[in-house]
Chains A and B, each alone.
Chain A
């Protein structure tokens, strides 16, 4: 039932983003049916065309914001709504509440990361008369999820640290930009720690060993993904430790 509660609390946000993503994917395909290949680049591979729309440009930043927003909510939000006392009087621990919320949020994020994989490869042959490999979509979904869980964990932590109604939301929207500014300074323009550049990592633009014409040709960067998973776990554990100490 805690999972049901977490789902009910986040489903409006999730369904709005899901609807927008599905509409965007279908719109892309209908547009590609008419305008692909673009007359100015007649030799552009379809994979590069898909990549530039779904996985490059603003897409990593947009996904990061969505992940941060999905991490919001929880007991501080409930305190503002006046339901924290009811929730905390239930015979469940605070960590159980957190686990349910984290599980639902990560699952929602995974669904959003996979949506293009469900739509683009399936409908491209019929609508655009082109094919796009599912494995590419799944590779990109993995890259998006790797940084997505870090952003989700950050939003989760903000939602526990900030008690104001909109403070956590504002902090979440500003976080990726603040991070990029700090990263650009510390990494000497992105030359050091390339995997720590979230947008380049998610779009596959950094050199994992092979990226050409919009297609990832190398295996996934498992080590970097593992490190990002650990960072996300550390953020969630920090959120839990803080929640245990809070007064409601």
Chain B
């Protein structure tokens, strides 16, 4: 295992093609141990396809990947890896014909790291009816059961695909706290979401995927530090100027105002703005939501071009 360099997930040019659709394109992803990594992307961006390849559910078209140091395209290594990985799938379905209690007993039998105390606590906390069949559970209850089955263990890596979908606000809060607790307990947490606020609340690191490509890979602190919204004011109509350059994302002009989303080099951009006659310059911190929209829209424009 390559824990020496502390990557629990590493991919190199990982690509997945379904007939003529390229779901994941040459993805170079690295997820660190002992951190919470948010995997952001729109619906159909390639998040689930990536996770399925990491867990051996689908086979990469090209490229390689390792999870907990084990190659993802080796069936035996993948099975061994899954002993140490807890996973909550996007649809959170478990076996409809089993009761909650049977589902717990079934899952427990596969893992040595099961924690009965956590199981009992989560059963109480989630108010799960142990004798009720899974098919009779509401969507929210099914999600809670899937979370219990993952969180009642002590995995090295916890992978969750859209974990908060179908949960009410109170349950989402409990979930986020549970993920923070799992990370504090030593697990690396890798969760996909398109709920930016959730990612911003708990993630240490953010990866954004769009149309199968990794477009952001940075810690939340780096994102906050490097990404700025720069508002430029001019005394008369701003001069024609090619704003595209290193570190510049989207550029919008409203009369004598120009708004630039800077991804890096904010100081250099401000200096350039003064050089062409800006009379007022304001540099503001941006939310993860703004960063996300900036990069996603940019990728869309690139693809259209």
Taking Cβ atoms with an 8 Å cutoff, the residues of A that contact B are 1, 4-5, 8-9, 81-86, 88-94, 244-245, 247-248
- On whether the beta carbons of B58 and A247 are closer than 8 Å, the reply is yes
- On whether the beta carbons of B93 and A82 are closer than 8 Å, the reply is yes
B60 to chain A, nearest CB (A): 10
- On whether the beta carbons of B79 and A93 are closer than 8 Å, the reply is yes
Besides A89-B82, A248-B58, 10 more A-B contacts (Cβ < 8 Å) are: A4-B106, A8-B95, A81-B93, A82-B93, A85-B57, A91-B79, A92-B110, A93-B75, A247-B59, A248-B52
Taking Cβ atoms with an 8 Å cutoff, the residues of B that contact A are 18, 52, 55-59, 75-76, 79-80, 82-83, 85, 87, 89-91, 93-98, 106-107, 109-111, 146
- On whether the beta carbons of B57 and A1 are closer than 8 Å, the reply is no
Which residues does chain A contribute within 8 Å of B111, judged by CB atoms?
91
B183 to chain A, nearest CB (A): 20
Show 28 A/B contacts (Cβ-Cβ < 8 Å), sorted by A: A1-B109, A4-B106, A5-B106, A8-B97, A9-B97, A81-B96, A83-B95, A83-B96, A85-B57, A85-B87, A85-B89, A85-B93, A86-B146, A88-B55, A89-B55, A89-B82, A89-B85, A89-B87, A90-B82, A90-B107, A91-B80, A91-B82, A91-B83, A91-B110, A93-B79, A247-B58, A248-B57, A248-B58
Which residues does chain A contribute within 8 Å of B98, judged by CB atoms?
8
- CB nearest to A90 among chain B residues: B110
- On whether the beta carbons of B56 and A83 are closer than 8 Å, the reply is no
| Alpha-carbon separation in the docked complex, A82 to B83 (Å) | 22
| Alpha-carbon separation in the docked complex, A4 to B85 (Å) | 23
A3 to chain B, nearest CB (A): 11
- On whether the beta carbons of A85 and B52 are closer than 8 Å, the reply is yes
| Alpha-carbon separation in the docked complex, A86 to B104 (Å) | 13
The listed residue (A1, A84, A248) touching B106 by CB distance below 8 A is A1
Which residues does chain A contribute within 8 Å of B83, judged by CB atoms?
91
| Alpha-carbon separation in the docked complex, A93 to B85 (Å) | 15
| Alpha-carbon separation in the docked complex, A94 to B82 (Å) | 13
Which residues does chain B contribute within 8 Å of A5, judged by CB atoms?
95, 106
- CB nearest to A9 among chain B residues: B97
B113 to chain A, nearest CB (A): 11
- CB nearest to A96 among chain B residues: B79
- On whether the beta carbons of B75 and A1 are closer than 8 Å, the reply is no
| Alpha-carbon separation in the docked complex, A8 to B58 (Å) | 26
Which residues does chain A contribute within 8 Å of B107, judged by CB atoms?
90
| Alpha-carbon separation in the docked complex, A84 to B56 (Å) | 12
For the complex of A and B, 7 pairs with smallest distance between CB atoms: A82-B93, A85-B89, A247-B58, A89-B87, A91-B83, A91-B82, A1-B109
| Alpha-carbon separation in the docked complex, A44 to B12 (Å) | 77
Given contacts A1-B106, A247-B58, contact A85 B91 (CB under 8 A): yes
| Alpha-carbon separation in the docked complex, A245 to B58 (Å) | 8
- On whether the beta carbons of B57 and A88 are closer than 8 Å, the reply is yes
Which residues does chain A contribute within 8 Å of B109, judged by CB atoms?
1
A5 to chain B, nearest CB (A): 7
B105 to chain A, nearest CB (A): 8
- CB nearest to A85 among chain B residues: B89
| Alpha-carbon separation in the docked complex, A4 to B79 (Å) | 20
A182 to chain B, nearest CB (A): 32
| Alpha-carbon separation in the docked complex, A248 to B58 (Å) | 6
- On whether the beta carbons of A86 and B55 are closer than 8 Å, the reply is no
- On whether the beta carbons of A86 and B52 are closer than 8 Å, the reply is no
| Alpha-carbon separation in the docked complex, A235 to B10 (Å) | 38
- On whether the beta carbons of A85 and B94 are closer than 8 Å, the reply is no
- CB nearest to B93 among chain A residues: A82
Which residues does chain A contribute within 8 Å of B75, judged by CB atoms?
93-94, 244
Which residues does chain B contribute within 8 Å of A248, judged by CB atoms?
52, 57-58
Which residues does chain B contribute within 8 Å of A247, judged by CB atoms?
18, 52, 57-59
- CB nearest to A12 among chain B residues: B97
| Alpha-carbon separation in the docked complex, A5 to B110 (Å) | 13
| Alpha-carbon separation in the docked complex, A245 to B59 (Å) | 8
| Alpha-carbon separation in the docked complex, A105 to B217 (Å) | 49
| Alpha-carbon separation in the docked complex, A85 to B83 (Å) | 15
B106 to chain A, nearest CB (A): 6
| Alpha-carbon separation in the docked complex, A228 to B107 (Å) | 37
Which residues does chain B contribute within 8 Å of A84, judged by CB atoms?
57
| Alpha-carbon separation in the docked complex, A120 to B98 (Å) | 36
B215 to chain A, nearest CB (A): 25
- CB nearest to B87 among chain A residues: A89
- On whether the beta carbons of B90 and A85 are closer than 8 Å, the reply is yes
Which residues does chain B contribute within 8 Å of A81, judged by CB atoms?
93, 96
